[in-house]
Amino acid sequence: MLTTAEALDRVLAAMPELSVESVALRVADGRVLRQVIEAERDQPPFDRVMMDGIAISHADYANGMRQFPIQSTQMAGDTAAALTQGHCIEIMTGASLPAHADCIIPVERISVSDGIAILEDGYEAVAQQFIHPRASDHAAGSKLLAPGKLVSAMDIAVIASAGLAHVDVSRSPVVRVISTGNELVAAGQPIEAHQVRLSNGPAIQALLAQHGYPDCEHDHLLDERAALTARIAAHLDEADVVILTGGVSMGKADYVPEVLAELGVKAHFHGVSQRPGKPMWFGSGPDGQAVFALPGNPVSALVCCRHYVIPALARASGRTTATPEFAALAADVTFKPELTCFQPVRLISNAVGQVLAMPIKTNTSGDLTALSGSDGYVQLALEKSQFPSGTSVFLHRW
């Protein structure tokens, strides 16, 4: 049986790369950048005034001038004027520095009488003060953003500042989620005492959308071999990624692995040395589709989706690998060491701001209610059985 690290490596290695598409900047948020963004111009593109006030020549100030006739007024967006010696120009924040000016006096430090700006008594001016020099942020042609970054609102501002109305991003993957099981009944439908509510599919859809993969439809299939074969085949024709929940263990009605084999899906592994989610199955379809068959228990399904499916979609999208995150256990944890344990946790912080992971008890891998109070899960290595409070462990946020 594979370790969790071996299983993840096989999943990532099998993921095909999604194609690139150009989209309007207004819809690029949350997509994976696939081009280098370079500066269109110097930033700032001119010596930018940082305060409302007056622009002067510091040489005039150094020669003893404290009263400056106002030559003109310059607003942000106006063409830069040329300052006449012995004068000042009223200036606004964001304006281009007038020629021959090299000092800005804030408006709070002056008074104006009969067209003359008078400096506050004792005010000391310094050359180049309140001036944002041209190209001090970056020069034209500088690399601003690299491929693989998940585009954020701040990145939208950077891309717009580079003059781009469209940007190259990864195509959004088409994902199909299939819940299997005769016992499942969707919310809002009449239910019998021997049946259970269908929850895995909607939860997985929401988790995928939360991570930026909204093109995800859901289907519920009964444990009938012919129906499973026909519908799974249709989903394979439509999707880049197919995620099944249930029907993957060793029961008489667990047809999923056999059906997938009949449809030409090559198995990469079946079973991972982890708890929960040990029966997980993964393979590749005849056209390179990624196929995940997750256990039907809700905790198992969500943990496997977060641990394997989300990183797989990130790899296919060309997204840069995230930096590992750690937290310290807030309580002792003990378990049998033959499997890696994915322990749900709630995050808290101590007096010095350290992130602590408080273990959350789940009665079984079907106890989905307990997950509602969790922020993610920590990964406890199979080589050990005792994890004292304070132990540093890998943290995986939902």
Percentages of the chain per state (helix, strand, coil), in multiples of 5: 20, 30, 45
Residue 248 pLDDT more than 80? Answer: no
pLDDT tens, residue by residue, 34-68 = 999 999 999 999 999 999 999 999 999 999 999 99
Question: Hunting for tokens 């198992």 — which residue is that?
Answer: 300
Nearest to 283 by CA among 243, 229, 318, 313: 243
| Nearest-angstrom CA–CA distance, 220 and 306 | 21
Identify the DSSP state of 32: B
| Nearest-angstrom CA–CA distance, 150 and 45 | 27
Helix (H, G, I), strand (E, B) or coil at 236: helix
Phi, psi angle pair for 58, to nearest 5°: -65, -25
Residue 251 pLDDT more than 90? Answer: no
Q: What is the mean pLDDT of the chain?
A: 95
| Nearest-angstrom CA–CA distance, 232 and 256 | 9
pTM, rounded to two decimals: 0.88
For the chain, the domains span 4-19+172-316, 21-39+144-170, 48-132, 325-397
The residue type found at 138 is H
Q: Which CATH architecture has domain 21-39+144-170?
A: Alpha-Beta Complex (3.90)
Residues 269, 8: contact at Cβ < 8 Å? no
pLDDT tens, residue by residue, 277-321 = 999 999 999 999 999 999 999 999 999 999 999 999 999 999 999
Domain 4-19+172-316: CATH superfamily, name plus number: MoaB/Mog-like domain (3.40.980.10)
**How far apart are the two ends of the chain, measured CA to CA in Å?**
26
| Nearest-angstrom CA–CA distance, 308 and 2 | 13
Nearest to 296 by CA among 309, 278, 269, 270: 278
Residues 48, 183: contact at Cβ < 8 Å? no
Q: Which CATH architecture has domain 325-397?
A: Beta Barrel (2.40)
Helix (H, G, I), strand (E, B) or coil at 25: helix
Torsion of CA 283, 308, 318, 378, to 10 degrees: -160
pLDDT tens, residue by residue, 136-152 = 999 999 999 999 999 99
- Predicted confidence band of residue 395 (pLDDT cuts 50, 70, 90): very high
H helix intervals, 239-351: 256-262, 298-304, 310-316
Helix (H, G, I), strand (E, B) or coil at 358: strand
Helix (H, G, I), strand (E, B) or coil at 161: helix
Tokens at 288, concatenated: 């390179």
- Predicted confidence band of residue 363 (pLDDT cuts 50, 70, 90): confident
Decide: residue 252, CB within 10 A, 0-12 exposed, 13-18 middle, 19+ buried.
Answer: exposed
Percent of the chain exceeding pLDDT 90 equals 89
Residues 19, 171: contact at Cβ < 8 Å? yes
| Nearest-angstrom CA–CA distance, 171 and 23 | 9
- Predicted confidence band of residue 274 (pLDDT cuts 50, 70, 90): very high
pLDDT for 337 equals 74
Output the CATH code of domain 48-132. Answer: 2.170.190.11
| Nearest-angstrom CA–CA distance, 92 and 106 | 10
pLDDT for 365 equals 66
Residues 33, 169: contact at Cβ < 8 Å? yes
Q: Are strands 340-349 and 274-275 parallel, antiparallel or unpaired?
A: parallel
pLDDT tens, residue by residue, 187-199 = 999 999 999 999 9
| Nearest-angstrom CA–CA distance, 200 and 208 | 12
